[in-house]
Structure 1
Amino acid sequence: MNKAELFEQIKRKSSFLCVGLDTDLSKIPSDLLKLEDPVFEFNKQIIDATAEYAVAYKPNIAFYEALGPKGWESLQKTLDYIPKDIFTIADAKRGDIGNTSGLYAKAFFESMDFDSVTVAPYMGVDSVQPFLEFQDKWVILLALTSNAGSSDFQLIESKSGKPLFHEVLEKSQLWGNTDNMMYVVGATRGELIAEVRKLVPDHFFLVPGVGAQGGSLEEVAQYGMNDTCGLLVNSSRGIIYASQKMDFASAAKREAEKLQLEMASLLEQYCR
């Protein structure tokens, strides 16, 4: 999916919602555990309930890897079930060099056919470049995350006096462009989102941290939105675990619709 197609879907749905499919067997309704593939059945019902509001789905690969071969089967079935006009993100946070990085790219872009994959930039250009060689596929580079330990490295000043995340943003623009590279930018500190937007005015951001982590959707839009929206705001727990009973799908639908309505208002306000 290219940038124009993604923005067209955002406009059509008046939404920039990404639903995180972080499906945990210990949190889904116990009645589903009797089924042959409870993870896929849960995901299927979540997708059915939220597809009219979501422009992206983001399975966190760890939740599937932890289940061994069966988890990979559930992931592929989930990916195949997602409507083809909805953007898909493999939240894998891969980052290795040379042929290993190339094989990770082949796994997610060819074998599984995701639209994008999250990539860690710490090992530099040769860990990222192999992912950028696939047509109409995206690297989503970790830039400024919302976790508690993000300041351990991301905010440390380099020799030039800039925080490390500035260096990542500036250097990585030599590797990719606005049609094949996005950035992970956490939602929990609005003023830092503004800094990132100043450095990369035209790139899309994948924004975690709204909802359960306390980030403000209003602040994200205020500081991060550009004239093509430029945002995919992820909600995982707040949607998929809105209820842990068998009404989980209808509860997820209500939460997704609530976010979509707020997003529609923000698009009208900030995306001109």
Structure 2
Amino acid sequence: MTSKEIFAEIKKKRSFLCVGLDPVLEKLPRHLQKEKDPVYVFNKIIIDQTIDQAVAYKPNLAFYEAMGPKGLDILQKTLEYLPADVFTIADAKRGDIGNTSSLYARAFFEKMNFDAITVAPYMGEDSVTPFLKFDGKWVILLALTSNQGSQDFQMITDEKQKPLFVTVLEKSKVWGNSENMMYVVGATRVSHIQTVRQLVPDHFLLVPGVGAQGGSLEEVARAGMNAQCGLLVNSSRGIIYASSGEDFGLAAKKEAQSLQVAMEELLNTYC
């Protein structure tokens, strides 16, 4: 998908919502446990109930890999169930030496047909550029995350008091462009989102941390939105676990609708 196609979906749905499909078998509603494939059924219902509000879906690979080969089969079936006009993100956080990254890219882009993959930048340019060689596919580079340990490296400053995350942005934006690279920026780092936007004015930002993790949607939009919206705001637990009962699908829909209403207002205000 191109940035124009993503923006067209945003305008059509009046939403920049990304739904994280991160199922844990033990957390699924009890009535699903009798199903032959409860995780897949859970994913299908979440998709059915949120598809009118979501422009993107982001399965985190760890939740599927933890189930072994069956989990990867569930992931593939989930991808095939998603409509072709939604943006699909493999939250895999890959990044290795060049030949290994090339194989990761083939796996996720050619075999599984994801639109995008999250990539860690720690090993530098040659670990990232193999993912950028696939037309119509995207690297979503980890730039500034919300976890507690992010302080260990991302905020380290050099002799000019420049944080490491700024160096990552400055170096990486010349590896790709706004048509094949996005950046992960945590919603709880909103004070730095404006800095990120100044450095990469035209790139999309994938923003986790709104909702269950405490990030403010309005503050994220104010600091990070550009003329094409430029944001994909992810919600995982806040939507998929909105209820643990038989009404979990309707509860997920209600949460997605609530976010969509807020997002539409922000689009009208800032975009």
When normalised by structure 2's length, the TM-score is: 0.99
Matching of residues 1-272 of structure 1 within 5 Å: 1-271=1-271
Any gaps of 5 or more consecutive residues in structure 1? none
Q: Which moved more, 1:23-32 or 1:64-73?
A: 23-32
Deviations 1:72-98 (A, max 9, x none): 000000000011000000000001012
Give me the whole-angstrom Cα distance separating, in 2, the residues matched to 1:6 and 1:39.
28
Q: Which moved more, 1:163-172 or 1:151-160?
A: 151-160
Report SS of the residue matched to 1:57.
Answer: strand
**CA offset at residue 174 of structure 1?**
1.2
Give me the whole-angstrom Cα distance separating, in 2, the residues matched to 1:130 and 1:200.
21
Q: Is the Cα–Cα contact under 8 Å of residues 155 and 163 in structure 2 kept in the other structure? A: yes
* Matching residue's letter, 1:172: S
* Matching residue's letter, 1:128: V
Identity of aligned residues (%): 69
**CA offset at residue 5 of structure 1?**
0.3
Give me the whole-angstrom Cα distance separating, in 2, the residues matched to 1:246 and 1:60.
24
**CA offset at residue 36 of structure 1?**
1.8
Give me the whole-angstrom Cα distance separating, in 2, the residues matched to 1:36 and 1:127.
40
* Matching residue's letter, 1:219: E
Give me the whole-angstrom Cα distance separating, in 2, the residues matched to 1:227 and 1:4.
11
* Matching residue's letter, 2:155: L
Give me the whole-angstrom Cα distance separating, in 2, the residues matched to 1:200 and 1:174.
11
Give me the whole-angstrom Cα distance separating, in 2, the residues matched to 1:58 and 1:190.
21
Give me the whole-angstrom Cα distance separating, in 2, the residues matched to 1:31 and 1:127.
44
**CA offset at residue 218 of structure 1?**
0.3
* Matching residue's letter, 2:125: V
Give me the whole-angstrom Cα distance separating, in 1, the residues matched to 2:189 and 2:106.
35
* Matching residue's letter, 2:256: A
4+ residue segments displaced more than 3 Å: none
Give me the whole-angstrom Cα distance separating, in 2, the residues matched to 1:159 and 1:43.
48
Give me the whole-angstrom Cα distance separating, in 2, the residues matched to 1:189 and 1:140.
17
* Matching residue's letter, 1:244: S
**CA offset at residue 127 of structure 1?**
0.6
Give me the whole-angstrom Cα distance separating, in 1, the residues matched to 2:217 and 2:128.
29
Q: Is the Cα–Cα contact under 8 Å of residues 197 and 223 in structure 2 kept in the other structure? A: yes
When normalised by structure 1's length, the TM-score is: 0.98
Deviations 1:167-200 (A, max 9, x none): 0000001100000000000001322011111111
**CA offset at residue 26 of structure 1?**
1.1
* Matching residue's letter, 2:133: E
Give me the whole-angstrom Cα distance separating, in 1, the residues matched to 2:66 and 2:190.
34
**CA offset at residue 30 of structure 1?**
1.9
Aligned-residue CA RMSD in angstroms?
Answer: 0.7
Give me the whole-angstrom Cα distance separating, in 2, the residues matched to 1:82 and 1:248.
19
For these two proteins, the number of residue pairs brought into alignment is 271
Give me the whole-angstrom Cα distance separating, in 2, the residues matched to 1:110 and 1:185.
27
